[in-house]
Amino acid sequence: MKRFFKPVEKDGSNKKPALSHGGDDGETAGEEKKKREPLKFLTWNANSFLLRVKNNWPEFTKFVSDLDPDVIAIQEVRMPAAGSKGAPKNPGELKDDTSSSREEKQILMRALSSPPFGDYRVWWSLGESKYAGTALLVKKCFKPKVSFSLDGKASKHEPDGRVILAEFETFRLLNTYSPNNGWKEEENSFQRRRKWDKKLLEFVVKSLDKPLIWCGDLNVSHEEIDVTHPEFFSAAKQNGYVPPNPEDCGQPGFTLAERKRFGAILKEGKLIDAYRYLHKDKDMECGFSWSGNPIGKYRGKRMRIDYFIVSEKFKDRIKSCEMHGRGIELEGFYGSDHCPVSLELSEAISDSV
């Protein structure tokens, strides 16, 4: 079976595969000098990367070609990590030890070898099954140091592949797929999300030495302006269950407890919400990144849960931050229930950031 990747040397993190594209990385000294650091970023919860490649790739490819981002952060990859049943898994590699997994890997690698994606190097952080997982695509002219956990240990991946951390010369970029809060006071629900938020808070506080761009599906809508129907989401419940703490009541991602913790992370990390910094008013057409099923009680119910969060030091460099989906019919969502979100920064003046 033909492979569509080749090994590359260590870059200070794990040894990772790089997609083949004309034999070398394709960068030149002139390109590196022209753009020292990435300036255009895209984040998207693909809701199964493989399904998007199979069903929505031409449209998404055109979108990426037109936007031409330097960095693409993907969440909910939903591809299993390498390793046979019962054996230790390698979250940085796609599973390929069965005929079906080899075929699926080949489909993905072919897609990521074609223009414009062949211009990017890809890092994976994957779960043990087709659940969660993240990917990071960075143009090959940039050379970040990449790790996969909030403690910065290159050899360690967060459970379910929820974190990819890329360190560039003047800033860090954090791609996360934050766990859903769930509906109940259980270990894999409220408790899991509380632990996650605590870990994020500790990370942003200890990372104040360098500007941060934090992106991804953060699974929280910070303010009422960030949902279409605040009363609906505040009153939502599953099977009639009412949590004992009133602050845990409501739609996962819109409970008062989650929103307060998110606010604390922003405050303590000296971070700002790039989209809300530029867009002060509610936009019922294009102001939300997640949309409920067009059929049923969630039709027309939308939330903004995908973000670019940036250090206050970058506030004056934010040129644009846009959501690229619109309406309740999921236009611009490319088959997912989330639309892509982009961020563009202006170049730093002199050596300042």
Q: So which residues are the catalytic ones? A: 177, 217, 338
Give all strands (DSSP E) within 16-84, no chain letters: 17-19, 40-45, 71-75, 81-82
Burial class (CB in 10 A: 0-12, 13-18, 19+), 202: middle
Beta carbons of 136 and 18 less than 8 angstroms apart = no
Dihedral of the alpha carbons of 255, 257, 263, 265, in degrees to the nearest 10: -120
In whole angstroms, give the CA distance from residue 252 to residue 254: 6
CA distance 143 to 70: 12
d(CA 41, CA 139): 11
257 token code pair: 């407890």
Strand ranges (E), 243-331:
271-273, 290-291, 302-303, 306-311, 318-323
CB under 8 Å to 200, separation ≥6 — which residues? 150, 176, 178, 265
